[in-house]
Structure 1
Amino acid sequence: MSFRPRSLLSVVLTLAAAALAACVAFHLWQYYTVAPWTRDGHVRAEVVQVAPDVSGLVTQVLVKDNQRVHRGQPLFVIDRDRFALALRQAQANAAARRAVLAQARREAARSVALSGVVSAEVVEEGRARVEEGAAALAQAEAAVAVAQLNLARTTVLSPVEGYVNDRLPRLGDYVSTGKPVFSMVDVESFHVEGYFEETKLHGIRVGAPVDIRIMGEAQPLRGHVQSIAAGIEDRDRSNGATLLPNVNPTFNWVRLAQRVPVRIVFDAVPAGVRLVSGRTATVSVREDGAAAAPQGSRS
């Protein structure tokens, strides 16, 4: 029995198609389950809460909503009058203490000069009054320094290089010591948090180059892996009332891979790219110059 050429050709084409399908299936399996890339990434930044060091009424607001500010730039001013009066009072008290100390020193000097006439007890009392006067003066001068510091702190300065948010204080608002008034985004802390499936962690190492594509930006960015999270929350376990482990008694047979945060820092940011904390990003860890994952793929 012999095969016809047409039958043989169909068998060869079928085998070739099956081999090609197997190769494609293997490639897709490797790509979606092993390749270290994910679309579950977000641009992050440190958020700094700005709180005044003194309390009072806001008399000046020197920045606008969402404005870019520099480190040390004045943001707003708190009413200075009360603190200026407190400084004058502290300075006056220090001057009085200084005069008392000078008088005590003169009296102590006279007692020492007349040590042959006055008793040793009088000389000792004079020295004690000098020491007390010096301590009182040091305390008064410290109060002056605190008053000067409080007066200087009525002008609230930017602690970081960044952007202010859109909830600035208004004129006449009363702000309290240590209570946050608004927040700022630190532009020097921008990074990407990529959430990789645990099955892909073997392909990620600290320092590895990363391709970053931010949604809405045509130009890809470059970065590198800074760190990998050392732990994630176990949702199936908690502490009971007796502080014993409270383990969920149910088990789902279909288990999804856990996602582990990986911190990625930018190597350089082009001038035309506006980083905004919370934007979505696709991140692909490159190994030995491997090509990045397509932007339209899903993980």
Structure 2
Amino acid sequence: MSTYNGFTKVLKVTVTFCVVAVAATMLWKLFNYYTYAPQTRDGKIRADVVPIAGDLSGRIETVYVTDNQEVKKGDLLYTIAHKRLENAVERARARLEVAKADLNEADRENKRYQRLDTVASQQQKDEHISDLESARANYHQAQTELDLANINLGLATVTAPVNGIVTNLSLRPGAYASEGEAMMTLVDSDSFYVTGYFEETKLANIRVGALAEIRVMGESKKLQGHVQGWSVGIEDRERSTSADTLLANVNPTFSWIRLAQRIPVRIAIDEVPKEVALIAGRTVSVTLHSDQVADASSAQVSSQP
């Protein structure tokens, strides 16, 4: 009986020890994973935003797009009233014709006087040479004015500079467009990428080209991408002079205790399921597999502008 009790006691101790050891191992692995493994729930989908501003001032004549419409590079967006610009082209063309006629007349007169060796004085010959040069300069100026008028007429038609999606559109016919003032915004549909904010303690396990598993909040399907690189500088909040820099400004979770800084890591998106809507600003979770490298062909395609 005592032998049985002793065996039971040893078994209990052994089982307890094994359970504690397994639990401790799992806790240690979980601690290492969440402390050092390259994964974060703090990520955002990003895209290049292109403000559309014309090089010409005037009233909006026609708007060819609607809000959230997808457009291709070169598609018409809007036009500025161009009747006055067409009139300017006609006036410039008429001035060019006059200047051309004056140039031809000056050329004929100059040639005629240059042949009159005995009758015309040298002073008269020089005057006609000067008249010819002046007429030629006037002709070139008129040609330049016509070119400028044609350029302005072309600027009255505003087209999409990139493939993208019109967003936050409030432009209407009759509104006044000022030169250089953004009238609408395009989100470049070929520029979507992910920025994941990783703690600096995890940088040692991040590799350029590493496979990235991306989960978009609210979506069941995963995206696949690869690491392109990370920021080499973030703003130092302890220095007031850094406020004027263009470095990434990453808000710390807490400022009263010493926590690891979060470094922005840029991740190219290689594969997107059809069900997932890429919207700049959406929240994502990112897990990096540093032991796996993304397919080279997909990485190359995703990096194209």
Would the TM-score normalized by the shorter structure come out above 0.5? yes
Moved segments of 4+, more than 3 Å: none
Structure 1 unmatched runs, 5+: 241-250, 291-299
Once the two structures are superposed, the pairs formed by residues 30-41 of structure 1 within 5 Å of their partners are 30-41=32-43
Aligned residue pairs: how many? Answer: 280
Are the equivalent residues in 1 in contact too, given 2:78–2:158 (CA < 8 A)?
yes
Q: Does 1:268 align with 2:271?
A: yes
Deviation at 1:168, TM superposition (A): 3.1
Counterpart of 1:229, as a letter, is S
Are the equivalent residues in 2 in contact too, given 1:209–1:285 (CA < 8 A)?
yes
Cα 1:138–1:59 change in 2 (3 A) is same
SS in 2 for 1:148: helix
Deviation at 1:287, TM superposition (A): 2.1
Once the two structures are superposed, the pairs formed by residues 19-168 of structure 1 within 5 Å of their partners are 19-168=21-170
Are the equivalent residues in 2 in contact too, given 1:115–1:123 (CA < 8 A)?
no
Deviation at 1:194, TM superposition (A): 0.5
The TM-score with structure 1 as length reference comes to 0.89
- Residue identity over aligned pairs, in percent, reads 43
Deviation at 1:21, TM superposition (A): 1.7
CA shift digits 1:48-84 (9 cap, x unpaired): 0001111111111111111001111001111111111
CA shift digits 1:256-286 (9 cap, x unpaired): 1110001111113233322100011111111
SS in 1 for 2:290: coil
In 1: Cα distance, 2:93 partner to 2:133 partner: 20
Alignment match, 1:278: 281
Are the equivalent residues in 1 in contact too, given 2:164–2:188 (CA < 8 A)?
yes
Cα 1:268–1:117 change in 2 (3 A) is farther
In 1: Cα distance, 2:30 partner to 2:174 partner: 62
Alignment match, 1:12: 14
Q: 2:218 aligns with which of 202, 216, 219?
A: 216
Superposed CA RMSD: 1.9
Counterpart of 2:160, as a letter, is S
The TM-score with structure 2 as length reference comes to 0.87
Once the two structures are superposed, the pairs formed by residues 183-262 of structure 1 within 5 Å of their partners are 183-239=185-241, 254-262=257-265
CA shift digits 1:239-272 (9 cap, x unpaired): 39xxxxxxxxxx9773111100011111132333
Structure 2 unmatched runs, 5+: 243-253, 294-305
Are the equivalent residues in 2 in contact too, given 1:164–1:185 (CA < 8 A)?
yes
